Amino acid sequence: MKIVVAYKWTSDPEEATVGADGVVNWSRARPGISTYDPVAIEVARGLAAATSAELIGVTVGAKGVGTPLAAKAALSRGLDRAVIVEDDSLKGAGQAELAAVVAAVVRRIGDVDLVITGDSSVDVAAKMVPTVLAGELGWPAVAEVTDVTGQPGALRVGRAVPGGAQVLEISGPAVLATSADATTPHVPGMKDLLAAGKKPVEHVDLAALDVPASSAVMTITGRARPARKERKHQLLDTSDPAEAAAELVKALREVGAL
Amino acid sequence: MRCDWVHGYWVHWQWVRCEKGFGMSVNAWIVVGDQPAIGNLITVARSLGGDGTIAAVVAGPRAVAETVAASGVDRVVWCGTPDGSPAEASAPAVAEAVAADPPRVVLGGRNPGDRVLLGAAAAALHAAVLTGARSVTVGADTVTVVNAVYGDISDETVEISGPVALLLDGGSVPAASGAGVPIEEVTATPYGVKVLETIPSEFEEVDLNAAQRVIGVGRGLKAKEDLSLIEALAAALKAEIACSRPVAEGLNWMGKDRYIGSSGARISPQLYLAVGISGQLQHMVGVTGAETIVAINSDPNAAVFAQTDYGLVGDLYELVAEITSVLK
Ligand SMILES: Cc1cc2nc3c(=O)[nH]c(=O)nc-3n(C[C@H](O)[C@H](O)[C@H](O)COP(=O)(O)OP(=O)(O)OC[C@H]3O[C@@H](n4cnc5c(N)ncnc54)[C@H](O)[C@@H]3O)c2cc1C
Ligand SMILES: Nc1ncnc2c1ncn2[C@@H]1O[C@H](COP(=O)(O)O)[C@@H](O)[C@H]1O
| Pairing of the two strands B310-313 and B292-297 | parallel
Confirm or reject contact between A256 and chain B (CB < 8 A): yes
Residue B218 contacts residue B302 (beta carbons within 8 Å): no
In whole angstroms, give the CA distance from residue B159 to residue B182.
Answer: 35
Q: CA nearest B199 in A: which residue?
A: A165
Q: Which DSSP string corresponds to A175-204? A: EEEEPTTS--PPPP-HHHHHHHTTS-EEE-
Specify the length of chain A in residues.
258
Complex prediction ipTM: 0.96
How many C-alpha atoms does A225 have within 13 Å on its Cβ side? 11
Confirm or reject contact between B172 and chain A (CB < 8 A): no
pLDDT digits (tens, 9 = 90+) for A177-235: 999 999 999 999 999 999 999 999 999 999 999 999 999 999 999 999 998 899 999 99
In whole angstroms, give the CA distance from residue B303 to residue B290.
Answer: 17
Q: CA nearest A220 in B: which residue?
A: B158
Cβ–ligand 2 contact at A106 (below 6 Å): no
**Which residues fall within 8 angstroms of residue A219, CB to CB, at 6 or more apart?**
B158, B159, B160
Confirm or reject contact between B280 and chain A (CB < 8 A): yes
Cβ–ligand 2 contact at A117 (below 6 Å): yes
In whole angstroms, give the CA distance from residue B294 to residue A209.
Answer: 52
Q: Of B229, B259, B282, B312, which is best to mutate to test ligand 1, by the most ligand atoms within 8 angstroms of its C-beta?
A: B282
Is the torsion defined by CA of B264, B268, B270, B275 positive or negative? positive
| Pairing of the two strands A9-10 and B164-167 | unpaired
Which residue ranges form the domains of chain B, and what is each CATH number? 2-185 (3.40.50.620), 208-327 (3.40.50.1220)
Using an 8 Å CB-CB cutoff, list chain B residues near A168: 86, 193-196
How many C-alpha atoms does A44 have within 13 Å on its Cβ side? 34
Collapsing DSSP states into helix, strand and coil, what is residue A249? helix
Collapsing DSSP states into helix, strand and coil, what is residue A206? helix
Inspect the interface and report whether the beta carbons of A245 and B124 lie closer than 8 Å: no
Q: Write down the H helix ranges in chain A.
A: 37-51, 68-75, 95-109, 129-137, 190-196, 241-254
pLDDT at B68: 97
Q: Which bound ligand lies closest to the C-alpha atom of B299? A: 1
* pTM recorded for the entire structure: 0.94
How many C-alpha atoms does B180 have within 13 Å on its Cβ side? 17
Q: Which DSSP string corresponds to B132-158? A: -EEEEEE-SS-EEEEEEETTTTEEEEE
Residue B245 contacts residue B238 (beta carbons within 8 Å): no
DSSP summary character for residue A124 = T
Nearest CA-CA partner of A40 in A164, A141, A184:
A184
Cβ–ligand 2 contact at A129 (below 6 Å): yes
What is the torsion angle, in degrees rounded to the nearest 10, for the CA atoms of residue A125, residue B125, residue A100 and residue A18?
A: -30
Q: ∠ at Cα B14 (B9, B18), nearest 5°?
A: 140
Q: CA nearest B155 in A: which residue?
A: A224
How many C-alpha atoms does A60 have within 13 Å on its Cβ side? 27
pLDDT in tens, chain B (328 residues): 223 344 333 333 333 333 333 344 568 999 999 999 999 999 999 999 877 799 999 999 999 999 999 999 999 999 998 889 999 999 999 999 999 999 999 999 999 999 999 999 999 999 999 999 999 999 989 999 999 999 999 999 999 999 999 999 998 898 888 789 999 999 899 999 999 999 999 999 898 999 999 999 999 999 999 999 999 999 999 999 999 999 999 999 999 999 999 999 999 999 999 999 999 999 999 999 999 999 999 999 999 999 999 999 999 999 999 999 999 9
Specify the length of chain B in residues.
328
Q: ∠ at Cα A52 (A47, A53), nearest 5°?
A: 70
Q: Which bound ligand lies closest to the C-alpha atom of A37? A: 2
